Amino acid sequence: MRKILSMLIVLTFMALLSVPVSARNCGRIRHRHSNVTHTHSACVGDRHKHGRSFWQKHRDKLTTAGGAGAGALIGGIAGGKKGAAIGALAGGGGAAVYTYGIRKRRRGARY
């Protein structure tokens, strides 16, 4: 029963995440690079990469989760289940302090 339920959940996610061909949204896209504005034709859903990557969109959350995971791993090796919980809290807290407090938000242009 458990295998069937997990298979149904996976298939449901796969069906929801697939983008049908009819969902293509064609038109003119306008974006800026510092002082220059570009306008070009493109279709959303045409397998071309538009906008920011997954890492760029979720960098703060991924950095915090990575810190929590690393802390849990080190704490689990050192102190078992209780050590893993403490390590996850310490690692997640330290990564959050770095991400939301210390790390610079803006960087200069690289070109």
Pairwise CA distance, residues 33 & 31, whole Å: 7
User: How high is the mean pLDDT of the chain?
Assistant: 77
- Look up residue 32 and give its two tokens: 């800026």
The per-residue pLDDT for 2 is 78
Pairwise CA distance, residues 20 & 102, whole Å: 42
Checking if the pLDDT of 92 tops 90, the result is: yes
